[in-house]
Amino acid sequence: METNGAESQPGREEKSAALAGIRVLDMALFGPGPFCARILGDLGTDIIKIHEPHLESRGGPIKLQFPDLPKFPGLRNCRFAGINLKAEAGLEIFYELVKTADVIVESFRPGVTHRLGIGYETVRKINPAIVYASITGFGQDGPYRDVAGHDINYISIGGLLDMTGNAGGAPALPGTLVADFAAGGMSAAIGILAALASRQRTGLGQFVDVSMTDAVVGLMGEWINEYLYGGPLPKRGETMFTGQWPWYNVYETKDGKYISIGAVEPWFYANLCQLLGREDFIEHQYAGNNKQAQIFEFFKQTFLTKTRDEWVKLLRQKDTCVAPVYSFDELVSDPHLIHRGTIREMPHPILGHTRQVGPLVKLSDSPFRVANWASQLGQHTEEVLHSIGYDATRISVLRKAGIIN
């Protein structure tokens, strides 16, 4: 059992996870769904991932083996149950699970769950307290409701892609799936937690409509609102946080690596100029284009004179808001991230000890721990069915009929 950076000590009171006792039926195996499930699972929910007994892709059967673990971040604190929801017997199993569940998460296109008989209007009749979250690209209604898309399309319409990249250049793809994870997955988790809090007052669940495009627009809201209030139309690379100023930018260093500078506040900028030996720049933080071009060129040439880590050591003598630009092999060894448990070693039943990214948040009285690991599809089907009263004989019949795996 894993806690916030330390194993449980003898004699110490064992504290339960924040969402212990909450059961989630997760039918969103890819994209934002697993990220949402990872958040909820790390907080202590019982995640049951329901999938087709013989899930296939264009390339053949999908096998979730240990070498594939990095592709599936939700494989801890979850159980895999293979159930054919297109068969009557499979629907019966699903409906029995609904009676025991608190939350359902799905990412089918709008209308699919209704056709399958597993939509919100159906399940709420079985369990009025259910919180039902649907994650889609464009939401459950509107002109784009049935339009197919992926992360790149949602960040395009949401304005994020247009603001990413250098001035005068083409839009640049961000380094992660922003719409899937930061927008879709995290928004779904927030919506679910809000609905669970509401249920404590009303006793009733509700439908959580998560549009990844809506959520991307929300992430861009600070700048969109400024424009709507009469501000200028922002352009890529020409705003404070996209490269307009030399004191909020990225620079190459002597060793071919990069350093980030975020000296927004005047006192941080003053410290930066002092450490660089250019106090004459201090009064020109917001000067016109000619002066900014001079400062840009000085910064560019100066940062090439030392290695990245030499600059970090020098500029952290004062508060300057400086950080190294890490590659993955560097960040996983960073002492601060390891100390915080952001990168942590976890006991694994097959791999022994393995490193993974830890939980997104740390709660003082609800420690993070790994309740279980999943290594393959259908791994926990029998265990899940036993929990709702199915005996070995009945399970065997269902397996032979291809209803479960």
For the CA atoms of 101, 106, 108, 112, the dihedral, rounded to the nearest 10 degrees, stands at: 20
pLDDT of 353: 84
Q: Are residues 311 and 349 in the same domain?
A: no
Q: Are residues 376 and 254 in the same domain?
A: no
Q: What is the mean predicted confidence (pLDDT) over 111-118?
A: 95
CB neighbours of 76 closer than 8 A, spacing ≥ 6?
A: 38, 41, 42, 346, 356, 370, 372, 373, 374
Q: How far is CA 9 from the centre of its chain?
A: 31
pLDDT value at 88 more than 80: yes
Q: For residue 372, which amino acid is it?
A: N
* Cβ 225 vs Cβ 211: under 8 Å: no
Among 331, 360, 380, identify where a domain stops. Answer: 331
Q: Is 280 annotated in the active site?
A: no
Find the domain containing 361 and state its range: 23-219+341-400
Q: Are residues 98 and 207 in the same domain?
A: yes
**Tens of pLDDT along 334-368?**
999 999 999 999 888 887 888 999 999 999 999 89
Q: Are residues 316 and 361 in the same domain?
A: no
pLDDT of 186: 96
Q: What is the mean predicted confidence (pLDDT) over 43-61?
A: 76
Q: Are residues 280 and 141 in the same domain?
A: no
Among 294, 310, 331, identify where a domain stops. Answer: 331
- Bridge partner list, 208: 133
**Tens of pLDDT along 125-150?**
999 999 999 999 999 999 999 999 99
Alpha helices in 245-342 (DSSP H): 266-275, 289-303, 308-315, 328-331, 335-340
CB neighbours of 335 closer than 8 A, spacing ≥ 6?
A: none
Distance CA 141, CA 104 (A): 20
336 falls within a domain: no
327 falls within a domain: yes
Distances (CA, A) of 380 to 51, 83, 95, 396: 11, 11, 18, 14
Q: Are residues 270 and 391 in the same domain?
A: no
Q: Are residues 37 and 101 in the same domain?
A: yes
Q: Are residues 293 and 361 in the same domain?
A: no
405 falls within a domain: no
- Which one of the listed residues 180, 209, 214, 380 is annotated catalytic? 180
**Tens of pLDDT along 203-235?**
999 999 999 999 999 999 999 999 999 999 999
**Tens of pLDDT along 76-85?**
899 999 999 9
CB count in 10 Å sphere of residue 396? 12
1 falls within a domain: no
12 falls within a domain: no
CATH code, domain carrying 267: 3.30.1540.10
**Tens of pLDDT along 13-39?**
568 899 999 999 999 988 899 999 999
Q: Are residues 197 and 310 in the same domain?
A: no
Alpha helices in 203-244 (DSSP H): 212-219, 221-228
pLDDT of 55: 59
- Which one of the listed residues 114, 150, 339, 386 is annotated catalytic? 150
14 falls within a domain: no
369 falls within a domain: yes
Q: Are residues 355 and 289 in the same domain?
A: no
372 falls within a domain: yes
Query: In the structure, what pLDDT confidence band is assigned to residue 60 with cuts at 50, 70 and 90?
Result: very low
Q: State what percent of residues in the chain have pLDDT above 70.
A: 92
Q: Are residues 61 and 198 in the same domain?
A: yes
CATH code, domain carrying 85: 3.40.50.10540
* Cβ 98 vs Cβ 104: under 8 Å: yes
Distances (CA, A) of 345 to 76, 142, 353: 13, 45, 6
Q: How many domains does the chain have?
A: 2
Q: Are residues 73 and 122 in the same domain?
A: yes
Q: Is 150 annotated in the active site?
A: yes
Tokens of 220: 């861009």
Helix, strand, coil: what percent of the chain each, to 5?
40, 15, 45
